[in-house]
Structure 1
Amino acid sequence: MTLQQEIVGNAMQMAVVNLQPGQTVYCEAGKFLFKTSNVTMETRLAGPSSGGGQRQGQGQQGGGGMGGMLRQAMGTAMQVGQRYLAGESLAFQYFTSQGGEGTVGFAGVLPGEMRALELTGSRAWFAEKDAFVAAESSVEFGIAFQGGRTGMSGGEGFILEKFTGHGTVIICGAGNFIDLDPADFGGRIEVDTGCVVAFEEGIQYGIQRVGGLNRQGIMNAVFGGEGLSLATLEGQGRVILQSLTIEGLANALKKAQGGDKQGPTGGMFSTHAG
């Protein structure tokens, strides 16, 4: 069942979701705004992945008894552990409409856009951590570590949220969104790591270090921060970027308050044909 939702607002958008009787949507902690009284709210440790987000009576078809309960508990523990390593909230909030249509409102935590992605089961979507707002219960949530051992560092650009299955996923970003396809730019684009919001399965994602220990590299390290690395996106598929990074917003607020001055971080992306 497609999630009936409307993105409203300008500078800081929010999603108003209309739930049919019995329909469930879940979100990360901190993204909920309001609900009607006929919508129940429940907090669970696991998301809808491998049955972890199902109710106890529904998750035992693959193996009942103590063995099934143990597998379910281990799956939940693994998912919670992944979210802990990723720096995500450990619990999800689930909202289900009871006795008629219900309404729930969600929002991101930064001024910017929101987008509803429709998953058809053919391609998964990957999103930067903190981009996820809400999804219907038919969408499975997972954590994808990128870059091998460096992925355990928790640095931006290494840990991604993965969405699979069928249904609607709502994501958010800072500033404005721009949609690109690397295939339109010779098959590869290089992006400020803080500007990546989400991309389709099939896009190859990596991190490219730039700037050595020369004068420019030292200046980037001192003033630019993220200028030392770029996200590389290759292949064919949809890529969603944001025009404002969290670091850029933080630096702007510091300047407005007369705090530490930071240098510019440069452009959003560059193209490379090859």
Structure 2
Amino acid sequence: MRHKIIGTTMPVLEIGLEAGEKVIGVPDQLSWMSGDISLTTTMAGGGSSGLFGIMSRAVSGGGLFMTEFHAERGPGNVAFAAKLPGNIMATEVGGAGYLVHRHGFICGTPGIEVASAFQQTLGGAVFGGEGFVLQKLSGSGTAWIELGGEIVTYELQPGQVLLVHPGHVGLFEASVAFELTTMRGVKNALFGGDGLFLAKLSGPGKVWLQTLTAPGLAHALSHYLPSRQG
């Protein structure tokens, strides 16, 4: 198996599969493919077993179904284009695994497991009614992750704390402790009430932050969209 990331601002992940190789991804992530590639959609992909595992993956943003892209008799290519300006990164998953933002997982090798790790409603004005959700990536293999905008990386030492706007949380090692906290005294019209929600990340472990969020982009564009009438 080989992969390459094409482009800069709107990158494309292209994976080359030899006969017998496969990757697992969310059905609507595929952009194009060539060669001897077969598609099989199933509820059992992504390490899910039983109804609870399937529902956990669905809540995390992975969906009820996963698609297996399989090169059966000969080689082929599958490509996944980024949905936002940003970056696509390959991550080797093992041990305790990683937590990633709701729509971060693009695809992975068959040993990758996708499940829900955290969910909380913070306000539709910021998260489009979806709430704040984290995916848990575990198992063993390679996962490809999409992060919006530029990537800022921190290596947190034991006990070191980083406070982050929830939308900028991209990816972090499972060794990093996570909780949502409120900064009182900060009036925030987006979240409502007298307080600002922030994600509290505590080391040890590595953290990848994303500078562009989908809600932030939508908010910036909303001023240029026609207003609704009636």
Answer yes or no: same fold by TM over 0.5.
Answer: yes
Task: Kindly state the Cα deviation for residue 76 of structure 1 after the two structures are TM-superposed.
Answer: 3.2
Seen in structure 2, the aligned counterparts of structure 1 residues 84 and 100 have a Cα distance that, compared at 3 Å, is closer
Correspondence for 1:23: 21
Hey, what does 2:95 align to over in structure 1? 122
Q: Which has the larger radius of gyration?
A: 1
Q: Could you tell me whether the CA contact under 8 Å between 2:45 and 2:68 is conserved in 1?
A: no
Aligned to 2:148: 174
Cα shift at 1:109: 1.8
Q: Which residue of 2 aligns with 1:253?
A: 221
Whichever residue aligns with residue 106 of structure 2, its letter is: V
Residue 61 (structure 1) aligns with: none
Are residues 160 and 80 of structure 1, via their aligned partners in 2, closer, same or farther at CA, if it must alter by over 3 Å? same
Percent of matched pairs sharing the same residue: 30
Where does 1:89-128 land on structure 2 (aligned, <5 Å)?
A: 89-119=63-93, 121-128=94-101
Residues 223 and 90 of structure 1: is their aligned pair in 2 closer, same or farther, counting only changes over 3 Å?
closer
Determine whether 1:133 maps to 2:106.
yes
Is this contact kept in 2: 1:87–1:154, CA < 8 A? Answer: no
For residue 140 of structure 1, report the CA deviation from its aligned partner: 1.8
Runs (4+) of structure 1 exceeding 4 A deviation are 222-225
User: Which residue is 1:45 aligned to?
Assistant: 43
2:196 maps to 1:228: yes
Alpha-carbon separation, structure 2, partners of 1:166 and 1:197: 20
Runs of at least 5 residues in structure 1 that lack an aligned partner in the other structure: 53-74, 261-274
Kindly tell me: are residues 81 and 223 of structure 1, through their superposed partners in 2, closer, same or farther at Cα, counting changes over 3 Å?
A: closer
- Higher strand share goes to which structure? 2
Larger helix proportion, structure 1 or 2?
1
Q: Which residue number corresponds to residue 241 of structure 1? A: 209
- Deviation of 1:7 after TM superposition, in Å, equals 1.1
Structure-to-structure mapping, 1:182-197, within 5 angstroms: 182-183=156-157, 187-197=160-170
Using the TM superposition, give the Cα deviation of residue 224 of structure 1 relative to its aligned residue in structure 2, in angstroms.
Answer: 8.3
Residues 98 and 171 of structure 2 are in contact (CA less than 8 Å); yes or no, is this contact kept in structure 1? yes
The structural deviation recorded for 1:9 is 1.0
